[in-house]
Amino acid sequence: MSGQPLLEVENLRIDLDVGGTRFAAVQDVSFTINRGETMGLVGESGCGKSITALALIGLLRHPLMIGGGKIRFDGREIQNLPASEMRGLRGSRIAMIFQEPMTALNPLSPVGRQIAEMFVLHKGASWKEAENLAVEALASVRVPAPERRVKDYPHQLSGGMRQRVMIAIALACGPDLLLADEPTTALDVTVQAEILDLIRELSAAKGTAVLMISHDLGLIANMCRRVGVMYAGKLVEERAAEDVFRSPSHPYTSGLVASLPLLGARARHGRKRLREITGVVPPVSAFPKGCRFNPRCHASTDLCRAEDPVVTALPDGGFVRCHYHE
């Protein structure tokens, strides 16, 4: 594997068009993902993490669009790529799985066929060959009796099974990068762990890099080597996972970590209220002046309210966006 990162995102800006006015829903987002690396993107609903992923795979539709910045995939700039060339990358080199497996699959098509489409599209297989490959794909995601499941329709499968089908589809052609947008949020807790294990194993086996998006810190901590924390459309902290949890730099991250209910905490520390971050995420049209987090930050000063902090590199290799980072 060459030393060049697989994905480089530089100052990405995503605009939202509301009746003619453009708002920057995502701004100044920069990060890199190396080959085979699993990176997490964490934040509350509405912080822009999902649309960042959509931008990477070129699936932004009106009223969203890329408003600036660069996305370099395997050394090649793809943010302005013509549609036909982007299509060449989609599915075969960059793949995505989504949150709601029930609605993400065509209800009128057997799941086997939906997997087989990948092989017909990208590997030039005939439908017959593709159907056989689909059975193998189902087996690789640990679906029991795959030769029978292949004929089932999505509504006949459980949520966990459907998500396995989605993973089979996404990984069918061995993509270099898998974008996973909240893949387990809609599933039962017991199934969540299985699906995450599956993603971890398959991506390790095939050397697939993964961008794992979630609002669940615990999940991210388990799966990812590097973590990016997003708030109101900006990346406020990006570091190695253990560093983020052991010594969070940005007040928002500390707030997130502190609000995690920990097993055994009551035994150790006695009864305490769950810590929360007061306030709500601001809407795209009304981002606060200065640092976007300042209304909710317990340590904000006049400087915070006046100036938006710039990215500061941290000694352990990450960065943070705060005037008073720890």
- Chain residues binding other proteins by CB under 8 A are 57, 59, 62, 84, 87-92, 95-96, 98, 100, 103-109, 117-118, 121-122, 153, 155, 166, 169
Residue 8 near residue 29, CB atoms below 8 Å:
no
Q: Which one, 143 or 256, has the nearer CB to other proteins?
A: 143
Residue 103, phi then psi, degrees to nearest 5: -85, -10
Q: Is 50 helix (H, G, I), strand (E, B) or coil?
A: helix
Closest approach, Cβ 91 to other proteins, in A, equals 3
Closest approach, Cβ 106 to other proteins, in A, equals 5
| CA–CA separation, 127 and 134 (whole Å) | 10
Closest approach, Cβ 51 to other proteins, in A, equals 13
Closest approach, Cβ 127 to other proteins, in A, equals 11
Q: Which one, 122 or 225, has the nearer CB to other proteins?
A: 122
| CA–CA separation, 226 and 281 (whole Å) | 24
Q: Which one, 119 or 245, has the nearer CB to other proteins?
A: 119
Q: Which one, 98 or 231, has the nearer CB to other proteins?
A: 98
Q: Which one, 90 or 215, has the nearer CB to other proteins?
A: 90
Spatial CA neighbour of 291 closest among 248, 243, 232: 232
Q: Which one, 109 or 247, has the nearer CB to other proteins?
A: 109
Closest approach, Cβ 171 to other proteins, in A, equals 12
Q: Is 257 helix (H, G, I), strand (E, B) or coil?
A: helix
Closest approach, Cβ 198 to other proteins, in A, equals 18
Q: Which one, 59 or 281, has the nearer CB to other proteins?
A: 59
| CA–CA separation, 163 and 141 (whole Å) | 10
Burial code of 102-137, b = ≥16 C-beta within 10 A, e = fewer?
Answer: eebbeeeebbbbbbbbbbbbbeebeeeebbbbbbeb
Q: Is 78 helix (H, G, I), strand (E, B) or coil?
A: coil
CA distance to 16, 108, 256, 315, per residue, from 319 (Å): 27, 47, 17, 9
Closest approach, Cβ 55 to other proteins, in A, equals 13
